[in-house]
Chain A
């Protein structure tokens, strides 16, 4: 079975902190994605990557950056966390034109 693992289930950070959310997949998938999920807004794409060292902006990239140094790992970085970045963050991966597999999510609270 495909496994997508996010490093933390819950995080609490202070405003202005730099935050790293890590995601690892074990199926050699090419494409990886970061979404945030908010009530009433559904899943919104922040960034995605279709290869090592490649990244593409999604719909809401402002305030975020990403890193993909290895195929299995896709990191989301909040350069300076703000309270409006309090959300559920979901990582996903997929191979070619198949379905996406999701991690369990990281619930981030910025105080």
Chain B
């Protein structure tokens, strides 16, 4: 069935190190993926997206990698800062009439001082 999930529920990273958050998806027909960041008490905020015709996309300090062969998505955050502490969700959008967004359950990123 369709599902989007994350390998690790919590990730602890030393401040200044790079973070890698992973996501697996099961719908091979999906062609649009998004990473969201949700800080405590706030709604999810868009970080970066990628379409299936790409395998890498870079933003400011963030990079998303898409491996369609193994249906895997990752978010890399360079030089992790305290402000990066949040829950990160991957999301898969089904590009059909319904346009539903399927979210993973989230990974909490914890920054160690």
Contacts and interface: CB of A to CB of B under 8 A. Distances in A.
A pairs with B: yes
B29 to A, nearest CB: 14
Given A48-B100, A56-B98, A97-B32, A40 B105 contact: yes
A-side interface mostly: strand
B72 to A, nearest CB: 18
A28 to B, nearest CB: 16
A40 B95 CA distance: 27
Interface string B96-113: 011111011110000000
Interface string B62-98: 0000000000000000000000000001010101011
A100 interface: yes
Contacts of B106: 42
Contacts of A103: 43
B61 interface: no
A43 B43 contact: no
**What's the interface size class on A, roughly?**
20 to 34
A87 B34 CA distance: 24
A47 B50 CA distance: 25
Interface in A53-97: 56, 58, 90, 92, 94, 97
Interface of B: 32, 34, 36, 41-46, 49, 89, 91, 93, 95, 97-101, 103-106
Given A50-B98, A94-B101, 4 more contacts: A43-B103, A100-B91, A100-B101, A102-B36
